[in-house]
Structure 1
Amino acid sequence: MRIIVPAISALLSLAGCHEKPSVTSEVRSSRDGVATLHSRATLKDGSARFQCLRSQSGRCHYLVFAEGCPDVSAGESPTADCDVKPVDSFSLVPGDEKQLPGLSRDFRHCVDAMAMPAAPQCLN
């Protein structure tokens, strides 16, 4: 028994029974303690799935793009002359989702409950 379990585990790992890595980001916002937006985006194998989970306005507005802007998560400020390349823009109602294949791992997106976001300003 001591040998069977590790042997089966090794065989399963060789067979590729491991889930592939993914990256998930969630956006939540609220006003006066009331949730106004909840969205989730998951990138796996070059395909992104966008999910509108809640929106006070009844729609989640998405802008998906590739860009050569400074990294705001590292404390750098976006500039007006960033090289923004739109990939797609769309709106979803809560409960809906959209799949976008062929995205690079470094794609960016913004989501808003009230209007279509504008890049790179939406990164602030």
Structure 2
Amino acid sequence: MRSVMAFVYFLLSLVGVAGGADGGGTTLVARSAENGVETLLSATHVAAGRVRFQCLRSASGHCHYVLFADRRAAATFDVAVGQVRERSDLPADFSLCVSHLDARVGPDCKPAAEAVPRSQ
């Protein structure tokens, strides 16, 4: 398992998502699969007040993000496979959910009872 994780980190570093230009910050990698088939691979890099969302693979062609601040939805957006979106206006304690599906979720990333307004 350790060698698999090292290989994944190596691949992510090749496409520029594992670490920033200065090597600082944190990279969050989200991966999901259904019936053994990978449905999502997303990398989010947080460093120096900037957040970089990169959609590497998605069964739907887009990674759908929901951002939360104080356990309330702050923003929703999608990023096409192979594309990147950057933001610098997020609070330090934001959280996120990402999926290959465009579904409304709560801060626990489970389906929400109420719709979350979408922003572009």
Find 2:32's aligned residue among 29, 32, 38. 29
How far apart in 2 are the matches of 1:109 and 1:117? 12
- Residue pair 2:72, 2:107 contacting (<8 A) in 1 also: no
How far apart in 2 are the matches of 1:51 and 1:117? 20
Report the AA paired with residue 62 of structure 1: Y
User: What residue in structure 2 maps to residue 38 of structure 1?
Assistant: 41
**Which moved further from structure 2: 35-44 or 85-94?**
85-94
User: What residue in structure 1 maps to residue 17 of structure 2?
Assistant: none
Q: How many residues align?
A: 91
In the TM superposition, residue 123 of structure 1 has moved relative to its aligned partner by 6.1
Runs of 4+ with deviation above 4 angstroms: none
- Residue pair 1:20, 1:45 contacting (<8 A) in 2 also: no
CA RMSD of superposed structures (Å) = 2.1
Find 1:64's aligned residue among 58, 64, 67. 67
Larger Rg: 1
Within 5 Å, give how 1:80-99 maps onto structure 2: 84-99=71-86
TM-score, normalising length: structure 1 = 0.65
Report the AA paired with residue 111 of structure 1: V
How far apart in 2 are the matches of 1:109 and 1:96? 18
TM-score, normalising length: structure 2 = 0.67
Gaps of 5+ in 2: 1-20, 112-120
2:104 pairs with 1:112: no
Q: Which structure is richer in relative contact order (CA contacts within 8 A, separation 6 or more)? A: 1
